[in-house]
Amino acid sequence: MRIAYYNHTSAVSGAEMNLMVTAKHYTKAHPVIFAPEGELLDRARKDWLEVVPLASFNARLSRNPFRLAAGLIGMFKAGWQLSEAVREQDIQVIHANSLRAGMMASFFSWRHRIPVVWHLHDIPPKGLTGWLIRMYAMRAAQSVIAISEPVMKDYLKLGQRIQLVHNGAVLSEFPVKEKEYIREKIRMQLNTPLESKVMTIIGQIAPWKRQEDAIRALHALVQQGEENYLWIVGEPKFRLENELYLEELYRLAERLKVKDYVRFTGFREDIDEICCAADLLLLCSENEPFGRVIIEAMAQGTPVIATSGGGVSEIIQHKRNGLLYTTRNILELVQGIQDIQRNEELRRRICENGIERIKNHFSIEQAAAATEQIYSHLMTGETGTNSGLRQSREVAK
The residues binding ligand UDP (CB under 6 A) are 13-14, 17, 202-204, 233-234, 267-268, 271, 290-293, 296
Q: Which of 388, 390, 307, 306 is nearest to 354 (CA)?
A: 306
Determine how β-strand 2-6 pairs with β-strand 30-36.
Answer: parallel
Least spacing, CB of residue 237 vs ligand UDP, in Å:
8
Non-local (6+) Cβ contacts of 350 within 8 A are 303, 304, 319, 320, 321, 322, 323, 340
Closest contact distance (angstroms) between CB of 288 and ligand UDP is 7
Contact 321, 352 (CB under 8 A): no
Distance of closest approach, residue 124 Cβ to ligand UDP, in angstroms: 15
Q: What DSSP state is assigned to residue 235?
A: -
Smallest distance, Å, CB 307 to ligand UDP? 12
The C-alpha atoms of residue 177 and residue 169 are separated, in whole angstroms, by 22
Residues 6+ apart with CB under 8 A from 251: none
Considering beta carbons, is residue 306 or 378 the nearer one to ligand UDP? 306
Q: State the DSSP string of 244-303.
A: HHHHHHHHHHHHTT-GGGEEEEES-S-HHHHHHHSSEEEE--SS-S--HHHHHHHHTT--
Secondary structure (3-state) at 28? coil
Nearer to ligand UDP, 26 or 267 (CB): 267
In the complex, the smallest distance separating the C-beta of residue 152 from ligand UDP, rounded to whole angstroms, is: 16
* Of residues 115 and 234, the one with the C-beta less far from ligand UDP: 234
**Of 267, 315, 306, nearest in space to 287 by CA:** 306
Rg (CA), the chain: 21
Write down the least CB distance from residue 91 to ligand UDP, Å. Answer: 26
Nearest CB to ligand UDP, comparing residues 296 and 314: 296
In contact, 44 and 59? CB cutoff 8 Å: no
Between 215 and 221, CB nearer to ligand UDP: 215
CB of residue 185 to ligand UDP, shortest distance in Å: 17
Residue 316 CB, shortest distance to ligand UDP, in Å, is: 13
Distance CA 291, CA 47 (A): 23
Q: Residue 112 and residue 15: Cα distance in Å, rounded? A: 25
Residue of minimal Cβ distance to ligand UDP: 14
Q: How far is CA 62 from CA 70, 129, 184, 245, in A?
A: 9, 12, 47, 21
Looking at beta carbons only, is 31 or 79 nearer to ligand UDP?
31
- Return d(Cα 325, Cα 304) in angstroms, integer: 11
Measuring CA to CA, how many Å separate 367 from each of 70, 148, 201? 37, 13, 25
Nearer to ligand UDP, 107 or 362 (CB): 362
CB of 120 to ligand UDP, least distance (A): 13
Which C-beta is closer to ligand UDP: that of 136 or that of 267?
267
State which residue, 295 or 350, has the beta carbon closest to ligand UDP.
295
| Minimal distance, residue 13 CB to ligand UDP, in Å | 4
Kindly tell me which of 77 and 237 has the beta carbon lying closer to ligand UDP.
237
Q: Which residue pairs from 42-48 have beta carbons closer than 8 angstroms and sit at least 24 positions apart in sequence?
A: 43/12, 44/20, 47/20
